[in-house]
Each structure stands twice: as structure tokens, then as C-alpha cells.
Amino acid sequence: MSDELVKIISSKLPEQSNIDIPPKIFVDMEGEYIDYEEGKSLTARFPVKERYQNPLRAMQGGMIVAAMDNTFGPLSYMVGPPSVTAHINATYIRSVTAKDKFIDVTAMVVEVTKSMLHMRAEVRNLDGDLVAISQLINYFVKPA
């Protein structure tokens, strides 16, 4: 599914946009696109790696946000013009530990306006337990 979704995302980009799909950090985090609902949502899976752990041996919150941001970004390219993040927040519900192996991030479009894109995300472990939620606001970039 991942290669097919990369082609779908890439096809939505403006010509000669110089946007890397998947983003380099997505590749570094070993993300994989696992589901896409046209214009509504994108789901990506990320491994829970030891190097992402905080001192309590749980996945560091910033890495969970990075996984969310790496799912929001490609979805944003598929539903609107190029945009930049103005606001992102995260609420953590439960820890992600090494036993979780992977997290699944589902980014969903809430609303697209003339100048902004509103999205939300849910992060779940492989048992389907909700781990974290997020909201994001992106502003569309005006062409130069």
C-alpha cells in the first residue's frame, strides 16, 4: 500500500514543487503509509524504536508529534495547495512502550477554508488503544 500511496500523494503536488514525498524524516523514522481515504484521511505506521525512548523507557512525546506531523504533511498536499504549520498541539493519553512495537497515526481533514487547513489526528497502538490526539492548523502558502 505504501508505494501506491506515495504515487497518489506525488500526483497531487504542483509541478516542479521540489517537495520530497515521502519526506526525508518520514523515511528516517521508517514510516509506512497504510491507508488513505480520498480527501478525508491518511494513516501511517511508525515503529517504536529504543532510540526514541525517554528516561522512563516510553516513546518520547516529541517523537509521537513527529509521527503525527509526518502524517499531517502528506495529507495536506492531497487536499489543498502547499501550506505551512501555524499551530499543532498534542494530548497524550497513555504511554507508548517497547512492547507496542508500532503506532498507527490517522490524520483527518476537519475543514478546508480559503486560507487555512484544519486537521486532527489520532495515534493508536497495535491493540487499538488511543495513545494521543492532536489538532493542527496550516496556512496556505501564496505563490511567489
Domains of the chain: 2-140 (3.10.129.10)
Please state the rounded mean pLDDT for residues 61-80: 94
Output the pLDDT for position 11. 74
Average model confidence (pLDDT) across the chain: 91
With a pLDDT cut of 70, the percent of the chain lying above it is 93
112 in Cβ contact with 79 (< 8 Å): yes
Cα-Cα-Cα-Cα dihedral sign, residues 131, 1, 99, 66: negative
Q: Which residue has the higher pLDDT, 14 or 114?
A: 114
The yes-or-no verdict on residue 136 having pLDDT over 60 is yes
What's the mean pLDDT in 50-59? 94
d(CA 102, CA 42): 16
